[in-house]
Structure formats: structure tokens, C-alpha cells
Amino acid sequence: MNSIPPLHITSGRRSRPEIILIFGSALAVIAIVAIVTSLLIRERASARDFAARSASNIVQLIDADVQRNTELYDTSLQGMISSWQRPEIRNLTPPMRQLVLFDRSTAAPYKGELLLLDKNGDTLADSLSVKPRTINLADRAHFRAHRDNSNLDLLISDPFKLHSGYRDWCISFSRRMSSPDGEFQGIASGAMRLVYFKELFKSLNIGRDSNVNLINTHGFMLARQPNTGTKDLIGEDFSQSPNFKRVLLEGAGTFVSVSTLDNTERMYTFSKVGSLPLIVVVGQSLEEVYAIWLRNAWLVGSATGILCFGILWLTFLLGRELSLRQKAEYELAELAATDSLTGLANRRRLDQVIKAEWARGLRSGKPMSLLMIDVDHFKAFNDRHGHHGGDEALRKVATAIQQRIRRPGDLAARYGGEEFSVVLAETPLNGAIIIAESIRATIEALPRFANDDQPITVSIGIASQLSQPGDTLGGLISVADRALYQAKRKGRNRVECGVSPAFNPLPRPA
């Protein structure tokens, strides 16, 4: 039975220290997670930047090598044209002319045939044979381009396969051969075997599941390392690939996209080779790019998770201790305010509440009522049934009083001995009379104790007052006491109303 209004410490609610602890711990965890997340995001960006710089270095290395070889080919072609246009060269014996036109550099690994073609596409000189082979290349695109455009300088062809020799994939470097008056006389052409780039790419450490590509601006694959599966991609047309279109549009840079070959997300770093119609593309697997970062992220994330869990767990333990302490304080406060025999509020609690309600009545201008209740003939009852019986009777009276108190703000208390008090906040006299009569009737209807001939009854005195400045609480209590004594003098088991200067009694119901 809880007969006491809420105290300052309320069970079931978190105290201010608990709220501060929980808020502080949550704030600390959020701050830690935010800082670690920010650092991991920054480290991820750093990992990407580092991978992009590494890939860019590879691209630049390949660019330099391709340009160097292109310059060597161009030098050879210009030398061939210059030598052929000198009349005395044509009068040399075929072996001597072969030595003059094609120096030892043409025997370098991965270099293909060097040819001089006349205006009809027939062979004038051949690096692979002292006696030129009977070859006509008038149908080749690079031959037609030089024939139809006198402004072309060095031209690099799309990939093709040689008619003879190694018969593997090549590209050709060619220059126009013109007369002094600009008339087309033929071309000088040199083939480079694309296996050269494949071997060059093999020497580069680009990481697992990554690749290096050389593509011309028409979208044809010239070299790739490593190949995707067993298919050789040399000569494949990627001109319609979204990734190639972006590479061709931007010229140089880095972006992340999904490969159209294996649906793997990669980071592509690319650059055009100088002014040549060639593009180097390094495709790095994102798994490889972020491998170290991901491992560190797992370590840091796990450590952060353990730290945050520890903070929350310690917060929980400390919060539980604070809650237990709060509960203990509440129980102690409740015990300090409770009468141990009846379970009602004790005299100390009664004094606190009646003072608080008196002050509130002064502020609100609403009346306050006080009931003083005394058990009739209690000494005689004690003599008949002993102290144990008397205690049991007091508990039953207390229960009956508490049952008739409906509002949480009202208070039933043990005043002392066999006397009880009821504080009725914001209750006028007529309401106090109704409650008092209800209490009296309920107690009178209690079952007879141990077949006693006399029922347990109470006398009740009522005081009700609209507090005014200058009034005192002691005056209200005195009025209630006088009303109680009047009820006893008039025969007990009755309700009487006291009279005070601020009190206008209403007629008691018949």
C-alpha cells in the first residue's frame, strides 16, 4: 500500500547524475566514432591518391619509352627517304644499298620490316631482303592517307598482321616521300611488333588483378598485360566503350568505373602519349588500391568498437550503481516518511506536506481542508485485546482511511497514537465533509474484531480555510482539534466542523 505522495527522489526515473553520465558517454562515443570515421575517410582518399600517383608514374614511364621508340622509327624513316632521294645511292650494288638504307638498328628486337614503296605501292627497298620482295601495299590505309594528303607527317597505323616473317600483330610508322615540287613518290614504312609493349608491360609491377593497356585514338587495343582470360584482345575495337569515350574526351586523368570486360570496378589512370595518336591506360583493381587501407580500417574500427563498447559498458555499470543508490535513497526517504505500523505517512511527512499545501493555498487562493481523526475508546479496546490487537485495529483503520483518499495530492498520515490526519488540498468544506463521512462510515462497517461486541469507530474534526495573508497554519490545526473534541463530547462516531475567522461552516447532512 503506497499512501505517501511522491517525494523529491522518485523511483523509476533517472536522476540528473545518471542523465549527465549517459549524455556525456554518448557524446564521447559519438565524438570518437566521428573522429575515427573522418580519419578513415581521409586515409581512404590518401590511398586512392597514392595509387593514382603510382599509376601516373607508370603511365609517364610508358609514355617516355613509346615516344623514344617512335622517334627512333621516325629518324630511320627520314634517313631512308633522304638516302633514297640521292641519285648515287640508287647506283650502288644491292648489298651496299641495303647497308646504307637499313643500318644495324633495324635488327633490334621486336622491330618488323622497313619498306620503301613507290607511288604505286610496289616495293623499292626491303629491310628483310637484299632483293626487294614483290609486295604491293597500295590498299593499305596508311598508304592511301599519305597519297591523298600531302600535309601528313609521321603516321601511326591501326594494328595489323605482317604478310611474312613473324606474322604477329604490328603497327606501322610511315612518312610520305615527295618530289621537290611536292608530287607524291611513295612512302617509307616501318613496322613495330606489338609484342614489344607486352614484354615492356610485364616488367611493371602494377598489382594483382590490375592491367596496363595501350590503345590508339581509334579505339583499337595495341597491347594489354595481362590478358583477360585466354582471349587475346590485340586488335579489338573498343571505340564504343563508355570508358574509352571518357578517356578520349578527357585526354589525361583518373576515374573509377566498371570494366566492360569483366564487370570489375577499377580505377583508371590514363594519358595520351605526347602528340601521338596513342593512349596509355592503367586499370587498377579497387580491391588492390584499398587493400592496405581496408586492413587498417578493420584494425582501427575493431579497436574503436571495443573502446566504445567499453565506454558504454562502464557507463551501464556506473549508471546501474547510481540507479541502485537512487533506489536506496528513495527507499530510505520513504522509510523516513512512513509510519512503520500503519504504512501511512508519519508525523514528519505530515508536517512537510501540510506546510507545502498551506503555502500553495496562499499563492493559488484556493481553500485547504484538514481532518483530525481519533479512534473511539481505543484504550478500552487495547485492554480487551492487548497491544497486538490494538496494532491490528490501527492498521485496519489506516487502510480504510487510505481507501477513501482518491487524489494523489491528498495525504493520510498517522498523527500519533490512535490519532490520524488527512490533508485535503484545494478542497472546500462541503467536499471535506463528504470525505470525512465516507471515512467514518467505512471504519464503522469494518468486521468486528475477535467477536467483540463493540465496533471500531472514529470521531472526526474538520477545519477548512481559504488562506489569507496574516493567517497561520497553527490556527487551522487548532480548529480541527477543537472540532475533534466536540465530536467526542457529542457521543463519538461522528463528524464535526470547527469554526475559525476564515471559516464558514455548512450544515452537516442529517
Residues 6 or more apart whose CB falls under 8 angstroms from that of 177 comprise 81, 84, 85, 116, 184, 185, 186, 187, 188
- Answer whether residue 68 is part of any domain: no
The pTM of the whole model exceeds 0.85: no
Which residues of the chain fall short of a pLDDT of 70?
A: 1-14, 103-110, 162-166, 228-230, 331, 333-336, 499-510
* Torsion over CA: 495, 499, 503, 506 (sign): positive
Residue-by-residue DSSP string for 342-397: TSSB-HHHHHHHHHHHHHHHHHH---EEEEEEEETTHHHHHHHHHHHHHHHHHHHH
- Answer whether residue 269 is part of any domain: no
Nearest to 410 by CA among 387, 438, 386: 438
- Answer whether residue 158 is part of any domain: yes
Residue 223's SS3 state is strand
pLDDT of residue 114: 87
- Answer whether residue 502 is part of any domain: no
- Answer whether residue 356 is part of any domain: yes
Q: Give how far the C-alpha of residue 370 lies from the chain's centroid of Cα atoms, to the nearest Å.
A: 60
Residue 475's SS3 state is helix
Contact present, 153 and 174 (Cβ < 8 Å): no
Q: Residue 262 is placed in which grid cell?
A: 569483366
Q: Give how far the C-alpha of residue 55 lies from the chain's centroid of Cα atoms, to the nearest Å.
A: 31
Supply the CATH number for residue 161's domain: 3.30.450.20
Residues 6 or more apart whose CB falls under 8 angstroms from that of 454 comprise 377, 381
Residues 6 or more apart whose CB falls under 8 angstroms from that of 450 comprise 385, 389
- Determine the Cα–Cα distance for residues 156 and 189; give it in Å rounded to an integer: 10
Give the domain-ending residue among 147, 173, 193: 193
Residue 490's SS3 state is coil
Q: Which of the residues 418, 419, 437, 444 is marked catalytic?
A: 418
Which residue has 609491377 as its cell numbers?
205
Residues 6 or more apart whose CB falls under 8 angstroms from that of 423 comprise 350, 353, 354, 357, 368, 369, 370, 410, 411, 413
- Answer whether residue 305 is part of any domain: no
Contact present, 138 and 120 (Cβ < 8 Å): yes
Residue 233's SS3 state is coil
Nearest to 503 by CA among 459, 470, 468, 458: 468
Reduce the secondary structure of 89-136 to three states and give it as a string. HHCCCHHHHHHHHCCHHHHCCCEEEEEEEECCCEEEEECCECCCCCCE
Which tens digits make up the pLDDT trace of 434-462?
Answer: 999 999 999 999 988 877 888 899 999 99
Which tens digits make up the pLDDT trace of 374-398?
Answer: 999 999 998 888 889 899 999 999 9
- Determine the Cα–Cα distance for residues 395 and 148; give it in Å rounded to an integer: 122
* Catalytic annotation present for 418: yes
Contact present, 117 and 134 (Cβ < 8 Å): no
Q: How many domains does one find in the chain?
A: 2
- Determine the Cα–Cα distance for residues 145 and 63; give it in Å rounded to an integer: 25
Residue-by-residue DSSP string for 2-21: --S---SS-TTS--HHHHHH
- Answer whether residue 472 is part of any domain: yes
- Determine the Cα–Cα distance for residues 129 and 107; give it in Å rounded to an integer: 12
Give the domain-ending residue among 193, 226, 251: 193
- Answer whether residue 279 is part of any domain: no
For residue 416, what are the domain limits?
Answer: 339-497
Beta bridge partners of 178: 184
pLDDT of residue 508: 37
Contact present, 170 and 194 (Cβ < 8 Å): yes
pLDDT of residue 272: 93
Give the domain-ending residue among 132, 165, 193: 193
Supply the CATH number for residue 479's domain: 3.30.70.270
